[in-house]
Structure 1
Amino acid sequence: MIRTLVKLENAMKSVFFLSLEDMIASDIRKQKFNGFKVSTLNHENSDDVFCNIPIRMDCFAITIVTQGILRLRNNFSEYILQQGDIYLGSPSNVVEFLEVSSDIDVVCFLISVDFSKKIGVNLHGVNLLESVLTGKMSQLSVDRDVQDRLVMYIKHLGQLNSPGEAKEFHSEIVNTTLKLMTYEIGAALKLRVQNEGPIQDRQHQVAFDFINLAIERFKENKSIESYAADLFISRKYLSRVVKEVTGMTPAQIVNQLVIAEAITLLNIFNYTMTAIVDELNYVDMPTFSKFFKRHVGLSPLAYRQSVRTAK
């Protein structure tokens, strides 16, 4: 499996980029569909988890804890997942596993952006799967019945993706199972929104709002003053609060999001440098190259060449 190391500004840690394509290619078991993958984590393979290393993937993730404790950091916020908890991840997330208990049992479903669109789990013209997985909530708790159904759906998808002769209506069964899983999660998310009261801590609310704005707008907007204005607070107050809550400045958070996105795009070889500069809204290639080299230590061209060589 290809793991790309990226050094971030003012950070002792690094980000590994993992592509779904590489994860599927590294698996000795063949698949019918290359757009999704089912994996498990338990006491037998828990030592393989990259603890304390930030990871960026190019796919959506649904991770269900059926036993044990999984502590992780998702986009600068820490979560503790236990039995019945679900982690919903998207390509915009930088995830860091902090602690895995010895009795851990996790089922994980990974699906590419393209495959989710191809399957077309639509509701009123909206791709429901993409909508669910790019929502503001990354952690969700469900009761045992819902957990068991979701695990059943995911394991069934894994079986449908195994080698062997395809059944009649095979793709339709995959599509329907994905819809059932997505509607189940969507219903649980809606119930949580209805039952959950507002966040009481003003500082955490400000940090939460800033991070969500940054995730949505970092490509177009890299100005901290602009984010502060959108939140109707001063830049000084925003910087102080975000630093206190996350341990990082607003600029560091935006820069980390930009670097993570740049790494993703540079790993897609048919994406030209010009397209990447346009996608990240830099005025020209020299400006982007200077920013990238300052944070990563290599120019974008040199970084892409190192990835080609590694593969």
Structure 2
Amino acid sequence: MFFIRLPIMEKELSLFHQSSTAVLDELDSFKFRFSVHEMQDLHEAVMLNSPIRSEFFYIFVVKAGEIYFKLNRKEYHATAGELCVIPPSALIEVSAILPKSEAIGIAFCPDFFLSLGLHYSHPQILEIFAPEPSPIIAVGADELTTLDWLLKRLKQINYPKSDHLFQEEVLTNTFSQFIYELAQAYHRNQVGTQIKLRRKENLVLLFFKEVSKYYKKERGVQFYANLLFITRKYLSKTVKQVTGKTPGFFIDEAVIKEAKMLLADPKLSISEIAQSLNFADQSTFGKFFKKQVGLAPTSFRI
């Protein structure tokens, strides 16, 4: 159980002891549904041998000392300079911590991560959240400095009452940079190692890869099911189980992100944008966009 003092919230957040609902409520108090924690002297603050299953991602870097823990009943040992990735639904139990151990970590909701759409342009990013071959990633001194700085920057600006004019842009860009740096460290560690994904996770990864290639032309779930040689029902069920969202949600989200980018270019007409995204006509595109965004394309441009 991690008891972490959050000065901004003026209360303790017990990431590995509270119910998932309680933790998610805590994260909801932050506008962007993530929370960064600097943890000093973990040996004095953590209750051992208390397993819990969460509904959020938790990533922490061991800055000093050593932590022994079990993830899905498999034992791991993290030392200073190593980073640990705990995915949602994983069973985590801290077994032992050496005195004077320190860490910095971030908890965030799957919805927040998925809303950034990083998995569309770089589907391999999802591999960092796989439980195999290991949740532990060794980071070099420079990587540790970068990750530590990014996490502290996220903590600094993720404040509900922040008056930063570009708070959302700075937060999403900094969080995206953190994920990219994390993925770089992960893939550097996995050179020569076969990354093992469970069948369902692998299927979702393949689905995202196909969506990133074809979303401008194909918006039907059946199309992607055919590419993956499975039924539409099985694809829908698997994507829902792994992500909590439907395949259609991710297809539409990819289209909308592209549409918003294209609408930012005043040189392109609405008709040209509709055509580039393979809509029958401007009217059909307009109805689709308004249903997803709540605004007509012309209103979004203003």
Partner of 1:84: 81
Taking the aligned partners of 1:214 and 1:95, their CA distance within structure 2 comes to 22
Match of 1:97 in 2: 94
CA contact (8 A) 2:43 2:100 kept: no
1:184 aligned partner: 181
**Aligned partner of 2:72 among 62, 70, 75:** 75
The answer (yes or no) to whether the contact 2:31–2:160 under 8 Å persists in 1 is no
Give 1:168's aligned residue.
Answer: 165
CA distance in 2, matches of 1:169, 1:78: 43
AA aligned to 1:91 is P
Normalising by structure 2, what TM-score?
0.55
Are positions 1:18 and 2:19 aligned together? yes
Query: Any conservation in 2 of the 1:24–1:34 contact (CA below 8 Å)?
Result: no
For 1:192, the aligned partner's letter is N
- Cα distance, 1:123–1:147 mapped onto 2, change above 3 Å: farther
Query: CA offset at residue 94 of structure 1?
Result: 0.6
Measured in 1, the distance between the counterparts of 2:44 and 2:200 equals 31
Q: How far apart are residue 92 of structure 1 and its match?
A: 2.9
Q: Is the 8 A contact 2:30 2:160 kept in 1?
A: yes
Alpha carbons of structure 1 residues 125 and 71: separation in structure 2 relative to 1, 3 Å: closer
RMSD: 3.2
SS in 1 for 2:69: strand
Residue 40 (structure 1) shift: 2.4
Q: Which amino acid aligns with 2:109?
A: S
1:91 counterpart SS class: coil
Counting aligned pairs with the same residue, the percent is 20
The change in CA–CA distance for 1:216 and 1:121 in structure 2 (over 3 A counts) is: closer
3-state SS of 2:191 partner: helix
**What is the SS of the residue equivalent to 1:103?**
coil
For residues 156-183 of structure 1, the C-alpha deviation after alignment (integer angstroms, 9 at most, x for no partner) is 1111112433312211111111111111
Structure 2: tracts of 5 or more residues without a match: 2-15, 203-240, 245-302
Distance (whole Å) between structure 1 residues aligned to residue 61 and residue 130 of structure 2? 17
User: CA offsets per residue over residues 274-304 of structure 1, 9 Å max, x none?
Assistant: xxxxxxxxxxxxxxxxxxxxxxxxxxxxxxx
Contact 1:70/1:101 (<8 A) preserved: yes
Q: Residues 22 and 102 of structure 1: is their aligned pair in 2 closer, same or farther, counting only changes over 3 Å? A: same
Distance of 2:110 and 2:44 partners within structure 1 = 29
Distance 1:195 1:52 in 2: 34
Secondary structure of the 1:52 match is: coil
Q: 2:36: which partner in 1?
A: 38
Aligned length: 189
Quote the residue 1:152 is aligned against: 149
Match of 1:256 in 2: none
2:43–2:99 Cα contact (<8 Å) kept: yes
Q: Which has the larger radius of gyration?
A: 2
Shift of 1:37: 1.0
Is the Cα–Cα contact under 8 Å of residues 89 and 134 in structure 1 kept in the other structure?
A: no
Contact 1:68 1:83 in 2 (8 A): yes
> 2:60 is matched with which residue?
63
Code of the aligned partner of 1:63:
F
Residues 1:158 and 1:41: Cα distance change in structure 2 (over 3 Å): same
The 5 A counterparts of 1:1-311 are 18-19=19-20, 22-23=22-23, 25=25, 31-33=29-31, 35-43=33-41, 46-124=43-121, 126=123, 128=125, 130-134=126-130, 136=132, 137-196=134-193, 213=198
**Shift of residue 65 of structure 1?**
0.2
Shift of the 69–103 alpha-carbon distance from structure 1 to 2, 3 Å rule, reads same
Cα drift, residue 120 of structure 1 = 2.5
Which residue is 2:292 aligned to?
A: none
Secondary structure in structure 2 of the residue aligned to 1:65:
strand
Which secondary structure does the structure 2 equivalent of 1:194 belong to? Answer: coil
| Distance (Å, rounded) in 2 between the aligned partners of 1:176 and 1:135 | 26
Cα pair 2:39 2:103 within 8 Å, conserved: yes
Greater RCO structure (CA 8 Å; 6+ sep):
1
CA distance in 2, matches of 1:115, 1:88: 16
